[in-house]
Amino acid sequence: MREATEAFVAGINAYVTLCRTEPALLPLEFAELGCAPALWRAADVARIRSHGLYYNLREEVARALTLRDFGPEVEELRRVREPGPHELRVPDGLDLTVIPDDVLRVYDLATTPPWAAPPPPPGTGRRCPDGSNNWVLSPSRTATGRPILANDPHRAVTLPSLRYVAHLSAPGLNVIGAGEPALPGISIGHNGKLAFGLTIFPIDQEDLYVYATDPADPSRYRYGDGWEPMARVVESIPVAGREPVEVELRFTRHGPVVRELPERAAAFAVRAAWLEPGMAPYLGSMGYMDADGADGFTAALDGWGTPGENQVYAAPDGTVGWRPAGRVPVRDGWDGTLPVPGDGRYEWRGHHGPYTLPRRRDPDSGWLATANEMNLPAGYPNDAHTVTYDWYAPYRHRRIAEQLSAHDDWTVAGCVRLQTDHVSLPARQILPLLSLLDADGPDGAGVSDGPAGGARPGRSGVRDQRTARALELLRTWNGELAADSAAAALFEVWFRRHLRPAVLRAALRRLLPADRVEQALTRLLPREDAAADPRVDLELLLSPGDRLGPDPDGVLRDVLRTSLREAAAETEELLGPDPARWRWGTLHRALLRHPVATLTAGEPPPWATLGPAPRGGSGDTVGAASYAGDFRQTGGATFRLVVDVGAWDESLAMNSPGQSGDPRSPHYADLFADWTADSAFPLLYSRHKIAHHTARTLRLRPSPGE
């Protein structure tokens, strides 16, 4: 690993040196920001954390703050825990009241790029919808009798692309696929012997430790029967336009101190697997990208550290399989769902062996798929070998499973269509609830304004006509969030902005005094660009039990009617009064922004933005397209891959907005239109095919004497 990383960095430094002698080659970003590129060291590859994914610290803090302020019943409305039922237990010795709202402020600053959106409000948990889809199909499920592997990782939609497609050919190595520009190697692709892909398997690899500190010396914390001093490191931080600033960083035996509260004699530190030696995210792919078969690939995963991944693979002999990989901390007697005292009672006792994680090969169904859902098999001892209780919603996986099970003639092109599928299963589950409004009359609009749970017999009028039109639009809709769909626009405005808050508010009214409901609702509502988890909402809507009171149908009827009327009014404000002219893609669009657009002092250069382009889907669809409050797409799959295993040249891929990160290149944004159209390009592999289609060759030669 060291040898490969040093060679990788030597290549970067060769170009930095070349730019110093030929300034015309300097990337435009440096000129725009008035700085020069520095030389890299091999260790910088491990220090860069833009490619790191962090689980589950924000969730355990959000859980603790919700318990502190509102109690366990409200926490049950914030996030689903799986596998369940799972009872929360506040760790012995943990005082929830000592945890400040801003306990993770420094952590958020340390793990958020400076050009990204600000961190979420305290207590709201996961901040971004990083996820992915992948699947493998056995020969019995394909039209050709060859296996197929598909993978579309979901990350922030950026300019330039997060991924870089490369084909590395050298003696003993012939691998093609995508890695990340700041890392050597290929993590998703194939090597002519095996295809491989990954999605997040959200292992809980983080914990917040809460310390009692010495009132006479806050740099000492209680551990065991005594006080233990924090380690101190002084760093000099360069600041633009000013003298460097010296800061003192403190560390406990568990990790970096992220917050000190001397007035409460408390301090807080983070323990994280990704901070341990040998854990640079995704460098583990260097161990498997030359695997000669399924067994070699799975053996290489024994050393995978972080982040946790659902690795799938497919070989020309028909073998397909799934193997989760990643280090799972051993927590004896506690489960990581909440912060813990740092006094020595709650330690990691190493990591569970890789053999403790489940795995499957060549299933009878003929396919395997993962989409970050809770996929531990029935009977898995999660209490003893706790992976996590914080999984993603299952709806992308359910839609994939529904489609893969329905056909045995899959093709590469068919898999691309499934990767870009925009059917919303949550929408299909919610739409039948509109029948509750049938009691209002044929148009479902016979009730006028009134609070949920207390609507009044009504009058006809503009509001009722608006509701009737909205009902008709949704009742004839198939649940597909197509870019050109009027009903999709109405549904997303309704569900995200009106129905979700209304039903949660109705549930909170059963639990809290009236003057605390809105404060609690703010805690429960996810940030809009991380809102692709409707499990709590759907449970309240479809199986409310007694959580909405003794007359749940009546409450739901009022919630549906009032929220739909409000949503129809807002959609008119956004798209105009004529529903026939509404389009989901008019609201939901891809508008890519280069970091320079945020960091530059003046007007950003024209190459720093790209779009807008209409988009279908949402965070709930297989073709993932999560969005922010202004409906701009923030996350999804800019890179997609479908491998025809054994007929490698028939594989397809996409890498938006383009392969080059240089705005002067014709390949900077030439794939953007194809990406917005949900298409793909051939990922050629054989030398003769590549030679036939080559348009330009760039040869790099060492300088004399190197």
Please choose, from the candidates 568, 545, 566, the residue with its C-alpha nearest in 3D space to the C-alpha of residue 556: 545
- Is 153 within a domain? yes
Give the burial class of 355: count Cβ atoms within 10 A of its Cβ; 0-12 exposed, 13-18 middle, 19 or more buried: exposed
Given pLDDT bands bounded at 50, 70 and 90, which one contains residue 363?
Answer: very high
Q: Is the dihedral of CA 362, 363, 366, 367 positive or negative?
A: negative
Q: How many CB atoms sit inside 10 A of residue 684's CB?
A: 20
Residues 401, 362 share a domain: yes
Task: Say which CATH number the domain at 144 has.
Answer: 3.60.20.10
Q: Is the pTM of this model over 0.75?
A: yes
Residues 175, 38 share a domain: no
Q: What is the mean pLDDT of residues 493-509?
A: 97
Q: Which residues span the domain enclosing 161?
A: 131-204+277-419
* Residues 587, 631 contacting (CB under 8 angstroms): yes
Q: What is the mean pLDDT of residues 47-63?
A: 81
- Is 94 within a domain? no
Residues 337, 376 share a domain: yes
pLDDT score for 48: 76
Residues 431, 577 share a domain: yes
Given pLDDT bands bounded at 50, 70 and 90, which one contains residue 49?
Answer: low
Which residues have a Cβ under 8 Å from the Cβ of 435 and sit 6 or more positions away? none
Domain edge (last residue) among 29, 47, 65: 47
Structure confidence by residue, pLDDT tens digits, 611-638: 999 999 999 999 999 999 999 999 999 9
Residues 462, 361 share a domain: no
Residues 500, 474 share a domain: yes
**Distance (Å, whole) CA 353 – CA 301:** 12
pLDDT score for 74: 97
DSSP string, 367-382: EEEESSS--PPTT--T
Share of the chain above pLDDT 70, in %: 92
pLDDT score for 277: 84
Vertex 23 angle, CA 19 and 27, to 5°: 70
Structure tokens at 599: 């960091």
Structure tokens at 451: 């609070």
Given pLDDT bands bounded at 50, 70 and 90, which one contains residue 108?
Answer: confident
- Is 567 within a domain? yes
pLDDT score for 117: 62
pLDDT value at 567 more than 90? yes
**Distance (Å, whole) CA 268 – CA 370:** 35
pLDDT score for 703: 77
Task: Tell me the pLDDT of the chain averaged across its residues.
Answer: 91
Residues 160, 20 share a domain: no
- Is 353 within a domain? yes
Q: CA of 138: how far to CAs of 159, 295, 297, 321, 547, in Å?
A: 36, 17, 18, 9, 45
Residues 348, 442 share a domain: no
- Is 516 within a domain? yes
Residues 290, 409 share a domain: yes
CA count, 13 A, side-chain hemisphere, 564: 30
Beta strand spans in 202-301 (E): 206-214, 217-223, 226-229, 231-237, 245-251, 257-261, 266-272
Domain count, the chain: 3
Structure confidence by residue, pLDDT tens digits, 323-336: 999 999 999 999 99
Structure confidence by residue, pLDDT tens digits, 198-223: 999 999 999 999 999 999 999 999 99
Taking 3-state DSSP, the helix, strand and coil percentages for the chain, each rounded to the nearest 5, stand at 35, 20, 45
pLDDT value at 537 more than 50? yes
Residues 582, 522 share a domain: yes
Structure confidence by residue, pLDDT tens digits, 162-189: 899 999 999 999 999 998 888 899 999 9
- Is 262 within a domain? no
pLDDT score for 453: 37
pLDDT value at 120 more than 80? no
Strand 340-341 and strand 206-214: the pairing is parallel
pLDDT score for 454: 36
Residues 311, 167 share a domain: yes
Share of the chain above pLDDT 90, in %: 80
- Is 392 within a domain? yes
Residues 436, 397 share a domain: no
Give the burial class of 117: count Cβ atoms within 10 A of its Cβ; 0-12 exposed, 13-18 middle, 19 or more buried: middle
- Is 487 within a domain? yes
